[in-house]
């Protein structure tokens, strides 16, 4: 007997609802190995969760971005700070557990009602986990990590090596070299399985918590967290010229962007070209930045828009502005990292998330990679977004290749204080 697509879709949504309800019920129960009142602090011999010796107020920082927009770069500006506990894309585990890709929820070939239901489920799970992680309840991640951790230890935390705190004592006892000198893969090799209890303790020892995500489309999706009195959430939304995002995605994800790569290499536009990812990115930027720049009361003191091009062009100045908005002083670790990682000849190694580069040249390097026809298509799709964020259009191949003239207009985006 054949099933209609509507019946199949209803089954998928129902399955997601059951999974999420079960997971939420589980993580809502407090998990402690040994509960000690907060005023007693954490000692080196205590395996305690929760345990929060940090002076108040704690600043909870969320970097809101999209793929290939420079989010790894801005993440490292926070990761290097001695007082910040940084996590790289922990929501990856939620996405892979509940559904293969959030794009299927946001842009499936299905009914609007089912799309909205699936999107709400995923965003609800994202918000619940973010709230737990900002409170240093890292054990709540265990529900989403596959295979499940054994005795709170796992080898499967996504991009663990991108977090300095997870590669340093007390989480990692390896002391042969400073973590900042390791390549990302070395962290796992040197430190072994991640002990989430020790990770939770390390989180409690840092004054601030920062998380980077490319899995939440718009700032409006975070309103429940922004208004949560238990959090002191500040959101830094990172945007980038969509033309640069496209060029970076083609190079980074060649299988997913094969048609685009064929077009770039051959000069002939394939009949099966899919531009939905591009229109979705530009729509998200337009809606999210539009909300933030409208300065609604619930975002007062909580929102800052940053263009990647501005950060790449003047990293020291822009980093100071970001930290000023966060209410945190820039430390020597951050300053040293900027000097060492923004004036290189190119990306460090072959890793697609490398951050050692000539940042100013990288920001508009896409102009030498995309054909004019490709750029023209992006401009047609994203014209409103380009205008809103202050990116100039090009009207000829010559104008495109003239990299001596920046396409990022001098436009100031002040934090909403």
More confident residue, 255 or 105: 255
Q: Using alpha carbons, select from 233, 278, 207 the residue that is nearest to residue 60.
A: 233
pLDDT: which is higher, 186 or 128: 128
User: What pLDDT, on a 0 to 100 scale, did the predictor assign at position 343?
Assistant: 72
Q: Please give the pLDDT value at position 175.
A: 53
Q: What is the mean pLDDT of residues 125-132?
A: 96
Dist. CA 294–CA 104, nearest whole Å: 30
Which comes out higher in pLDDT, residue 226 or 98?
Answer: 226
Please indicate, yes or no, if residue 95 is contained in any of the structural domains.
yes
Whether residue 290 is contained in a domain is answered as no
Q: How many domains does the chain have?
A: 1
| 110: in domain | yes
Containing H/E element for 373? helix 372-381
311-354 tens-digit pLDDT: 999 999 999 999 999 999 999 999 999 998 887 554 443 445 44
> Would you say residue 72 lies in a domain?
yes
Residue 88's pLDDT is what?
Answer: 95
Give the model's pLDDT for residue 50. Answer: 47
**What local confidence, expressed as pLDDT, does residue 177 receive?**
59
pTM of the full predicted structure?
A: 0.82
Q: Is the pLDDT of residue 195 over 80?
A: yes
- Grade residue 26 by pLDDT with cuts at 50, 70 and 90: very low
Residue 92 has pLDDT above 70, yes or no: yes
| 319 domain residue, yes or no | yes
User: Among 17-26, 176-185, 191-200, 340-349, where is mean pLDDT lowest?
Assistant: 17-26
Q: Is residue 402 part of a domain?
A: no
Quote the DSSP letter at residue 405: S
pLDDT at site 360: 75
Q: How far is residue 277 from each of residues 108, 141, 282, measured CA to CA in Å?
A: 12, 28, 9
Q: Is residue 8 in some structural domain?
A: no
**Residue range(s) defining the domain that contains residue 64:** 13-241+308-362
Question: Do residues 385 and 242 make contact, with C-beta atoms less than 8 angstroms apart?
Answer: yes
- Express each pLDDT in 363-414 by its tens digit: 999 999 999 999 999 999 999 999 999 999 999 999 999 999 999 999 999 9
Q: What are phi and psi of 267, to 5 degrees?
A: 85, 0
152: left (phi over 0), alpha (psi -120 to 50) or beta: left
Residue 217 lies in a domain: yes
């Amino acid at each position: 007997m054949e099933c209609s697509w509507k019946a199949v879709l209803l089954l998928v949504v129902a399955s997601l609802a059951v999974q999420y309800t079960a997971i939420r019920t589980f993580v809502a129960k407090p998990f402690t190995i040994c509960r000690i009142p907060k005023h007693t602090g954490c000692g080196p011999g205590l395996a305690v969760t929760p345990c929060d010796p940090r002076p108040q107020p704690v600043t909870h920082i969320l970097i809101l971005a999209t793929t290939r927009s420079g989010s790894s770069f801005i993440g490292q500006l926070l990761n290097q700070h001695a007082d910040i506990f940084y996590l790289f894309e922990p929501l990856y585990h939620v996405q892979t557990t509940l559904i293969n890709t959030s794009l299927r929820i946001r842009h499936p070939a299905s009914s609007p009602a089912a799309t909205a239901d699936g999107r709400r489920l995923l965003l609800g799970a994202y918000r619940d986990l973010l709230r737990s992680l900002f409170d240093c309840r890292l054990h709540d991640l265990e529900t989403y990590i596959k295979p499940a951790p054994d005795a709170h230890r796992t080898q499967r935390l996504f991009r663990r090596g991108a977090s300095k705190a997870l590669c340093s004592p007390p989480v990692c006892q390896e002391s042969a070299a400073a973590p900042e000198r390791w390549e990302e893969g070395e962290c796992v090799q040197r430190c072994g399985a991640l002990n989430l209890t020790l990770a939770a303790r390390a989180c409690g020892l840092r004054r601030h918590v920062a998380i980077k995500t490319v899995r939440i489309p718009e700032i409006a999706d975070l309103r429940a967290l922004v208004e949560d009195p238990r959090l002191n959430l500040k959101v830094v939304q990172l945007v980038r010229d969509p033309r640069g995002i496209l060029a970076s995605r083609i190079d980074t994800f060649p299988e997913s962007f094969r048609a685009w790569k064929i077009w770039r290499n051959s000069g002939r536009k394939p009949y099966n070209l899919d531009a939905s990812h591009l229109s979705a990115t530009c729509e998200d930027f337009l809606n999210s930045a539009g909300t933030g720049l409208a300065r609604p009361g619930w975002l007062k003191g909580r929102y800052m828009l940053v263009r990647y091009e501005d950060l790449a062009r003047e990293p020291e100045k822009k980093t100071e502005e970001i930290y000023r908005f966060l209410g945190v002083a820039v430390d020597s670790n951050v300053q040293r990292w900027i000097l060492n990682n923004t004036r290189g000849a190119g990306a460090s190694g072959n890793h697609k998330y490398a951050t050692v580069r000539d940042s100013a040249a990288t920001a508009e390097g896409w102009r030498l990679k995309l054909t004019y026809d490709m750029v023209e298509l992006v401009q047609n799709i994203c014209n409103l977004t380009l205008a809103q964020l202050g990116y100039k259009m090009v009207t000829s191949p010559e104008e495109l290749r003239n990299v001596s003239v920046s396409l990022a207009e001098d436009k100031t985006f002040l934090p909403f204080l």
